[in-house]
A and B are shown apart, each in its own frame.
Chain A
Amino acid sequence: GAVVSQHPSWVICKSGTSVKIECRSLDFQATTMFWYRQFPKQSLMLMATSNEGSKATYEQGVEKDKFLINHASLTLSTLTVTSAHPEDSSFYICSARPSDRPQETQYFGPGTRLLVL
């Protein structure tokens, strides 16, 4: 199989604090992982592409200094929401594609629900 996990599954934090979300590929290696954000009743919007061993590539309109991405290994990418504010409350979802199976599509994690008070 191809399983992607996220931790935590949900988090509540105070405004101004930072929150780190982990994305792990459990049974495969992924050179590239993706971070999406989904607001209620809306579609998934790609935030950034996380590249193992190099800087992430951010989509237009996404602040790289606010959403810090680190892809330190072939099975782990982290997204840190710095100085979170209520408008950052959302469902954050990561995905990964097996590096050794480029013909396969991306596999998605279960998501992390962030609520900033």
Chain B
Amino acid sequence: GESVGLHLPTLSVQEGDNSIINCAYSNSASDYFIWYKQESGKGPQFIIDIRSNMDKRQGQRVTVLLNKTVKHLSLQIAATQPGDSAVYFCAENISFGNEKLTFGTGTRLTIIP
């Protein structure tokens, strides 16, 4: 049957400020991690990825940090804009090429104008 609905963690940030979204992943064997953005009623959109041999990777306005010791992943969004409002998911992959992704619970980011 259908699972009981869970309340998504939420984060509200003033427009122009920086935001940090955190994710605790589950499998210490995971070696590839991705952040996705999902707007209401749409599919996930790729933001940035990182391999386990790195601890930081930067994109345009976004930075992903990986701490393998505590199995923690974070997404930093700089100078947030209203269009950044969405649900953000981290996903892990045990072996790049294995292809199966396990998604985290997600965080709803709301940008306050």
A-to-B contact residues, CB < 8 Å: 4, 6, 32, 34, 39-46, 49, 87, 90, 93, 95, 97, 102-103, 105-111, 113
Contacts and interface: CB of A to CB of B under 8 A. Distances in A.
A108 B45 contact: yes
Contact of B3 (A6, A39, A102, A107): A39
- Of B43, B46, B96, B105, most buried by chain A (CB within 10 Å of CB) is B43
B3 A42 contact: yes
Contacts of B64: none
A80 B104 CA distance: 26
B8 A41 contact: yes
Contacts of B99: 32, 34, 49, 97, 106
Interface of B: 1-3, 5-8, 34, 36, 41-46, 49, 89, 96-97, 99-106
Contact of B106 (A43, A90, A105): A43
A96 B89 CA distance: 18
Q: Is the interface of B mostly helix, strand, loop or mixed?
A: loop
A41 to B, nearest CB: 5
Closest 5 CB pairs of A and B: A108-B43, A43-B103, A44-B103, A108-B44, A111-B43
Contacts of B34: 105
8 contacts: A41-B6, A41-B7, A42-B3, A42-B6, A102-B97, A106-B99, A111-B41, A111-B42
Contacts of B89: 43-44
B65 to A, nearest CB: 18
Contacts of A111: 41-43
